[in-house]
Amino acid sequence: MSERLETLKKARERMIEDRDVHAKVLAAPFDRDKAERARNKFIEIQGLIDALDRAISGEESVLSKS
């Protein structure tokens, strides 16, 4: 596995851990301020995870052609 692909996968794992923290806040008893902040961060982090997934797929595609 290339160093770039490994780095992307590690970044994805870290973002999943961060996203899980916000999901726990959303699952907890409702607190409007906390829930709103958690929801916004969750959406932001999920967008980053999606971008990392695309980058990982692209890198895997490049590696499979070499």
As assigned by CATH, the class of the 3-65 domain is mainly alpha
Domain ranges (residues) in the chain: 3-65
Burial tier of 11 (Cβ tally within 10 Å: 0-12, 13-18, 19+): middle
Q: Is the pLDDT of residue 10 over 80?
A: yes
Q: Is the pLDDT of residue 7 over 90?
A: yes
Q: Is the pLDDT of residue 66 over 80?
A: no
Q: What is the pLDDT of residue 1?
A: 73
Average pLDDT over residues 44-56: 98
pTM: 0.91
What distance in Å separates the CA atoms of residue 9 and residue 49, rounded to the nearest whole number?
10
For the ranges 17-21, 24-28, 60-64, the lowest mean pLDDT is seen at 60-64
Q: What is the pLDDT of residue 48?
A: 98
